[in-house]
Structure formats: structure tokens, C-alpha cells
Amino acid sequence: MISVLIVDDQALQRFGFRMLLDATPDTEVVGEAAHGGEAVRRTAELRPDVVLMDIRMPGMDGIEATRRIVAGGGRSRVLVLTTFDLDEYAHAALRAGASGFLLKDAHPEELLAGIRAVARGDAVVAPALTRRLLDAYAHHLPAASGGAPDDPRWAALTEREREILVAIGQGRTNGEIASRLVLSESTVKTHVGRVLAKIGARDRIQAVIIAYDLGLTRANDPGGSRAE
């Protein structure tokens, strides 16, 4: 059973999510919150598996709430809901530590699949789609300071792991990385796990953001916007 905290300032929106999740055998709504501050408190109290987080709310928004929840070090993972094309803060939510995001007009089965993915520790958004989001807002991202060679996260990686991180930052899937580096997918998966651990990334989405921070990839990089 996956426990979920619903965070949205719209009561009708919360009601709709609750109806869907209560009707699903493997999900359970343990609480609701109408703004970010309440979300942080309720997450600490209830320790849900997944926090379904709206971004734009009065008072503390979903970005700051996500940052505080992640900084708290608990097991709860945040799934952000965004309008994507209109929400220029989506990338900031990922940088704050969200495990992924979905569109607010996603089909019910997509939302449920996303919640399940986040609950088991996966990133909801495919690497290529994550890359397209970051490309859309690349002008908002601060330039990397110092560059990869001076960053301890980069220094901690082996040569092969550096190749893997660059490929992750380009939005490549494990299959594409395996083909490019002439490795088996299982070997790539092992390398990806080690890279995430060494650079302190909770999931693949955070690894993409770190790759940007380190200056390892650029917007409009060929091959970085392939579909899954």
C-alpha cells in the first residue's frame, strides 16, 4: 500500500485526486494540505511514501515546500504536478529535490503509474523528456562555477563513470548509453547506480541537473532530446 499526501490549494482538485487514489487498491490517501507550510508539517507527521505536490500555492509554494521536505531527510518522495508549458518554475522544483513531475492534465493511469514509480525510488520523467524541460528553461539556469574539473563530485568519478554522467546529462537512456559505450545494459545500470551514489543524486533527474551544474552538457546538444 502506497501512502500519499495530497497538496493543492484547490479543494476540488484535492477531492478529485482523493477519489481516484481511494478507488485504487494499492494507494491510500493519508492526508491533505492546502499550502506549502502545511505540506511540510503534514509530511513530518504522516511520513507518506509520496507527496503529490502542486507548485503554485499562496504563502509557501510547492518549490520551497519540496526543498524543506527533502532537506528533512525523511523517506517521503515528492511528485510535482505542473502545467509544464506555462510553468517556468518546473525546473526549480526538480532542483529543490522533487523526484519527478507530471502534467496536471495527465490521464489517471499516468498519474497512478507516476506515483508507483516514485514510491519504488524511480524517477517519473524519462531522461529525454527531462532534458527537453531543462532545455526549455536553460536560460534560467545559473552558469556552472568553476567547472567540472574543480568539483569534488566530478573528481570522485572514474573515467567510465564520467562518461556515464555526461550521457545521463544528454538525456540518453540506459540502452542508448550501452550502445554508445559498447557495454551491456546491466553494466550500464550498475555504473549509473554508482554515479548517483557518488554525486549525491537521489535519482536520474537530479543527475541531469547536476550535469548541467557541472557544465557537462548544453541546451540543444545533439542527441540530448531523443524520445524514449
Does the model's pTM come out above 0.75? no
**Is 206 strand, coil or helix?**
helix
Q: Write down the pLDDT at residue 88.
A: 60
Q: Write down the pLDDT at residue 148.
A: 62
pLDDT digits (tens, 9 = 90+) for 197-213: 999 987 887 888 888 88
- Residue written as cell 563530485? 153
The strand order across the sheet containing 50-54 reads 27-33, 2-7, 50-54, 77-82, 100-103
DSSP 124-164: SS-HHHHHHHHHHTGGGSPPPSS-GGG-HHHHTS-HHHHHH
Question: Could you tell me if 159 and 165 are in contact, meaning their C-beta atoms sit under 8 angstroms apart?
Answer: no
What is the pLDDT confidence band of residue 160, given thresholds at 50, 70 and 90? very high
pLDDT digits (tens, 9 = 90+) for 182-198: 999 999 999 999 999 99
State the Cα–Cα distance between residues 87 and 141, nearest whole angstrom. Answer: 15
State the Cα–Cα distance between residues 200 and 77, nearest whole angstrom. Answer: 15
| Bridge partners (DSSP) listed for residue 103 | 82
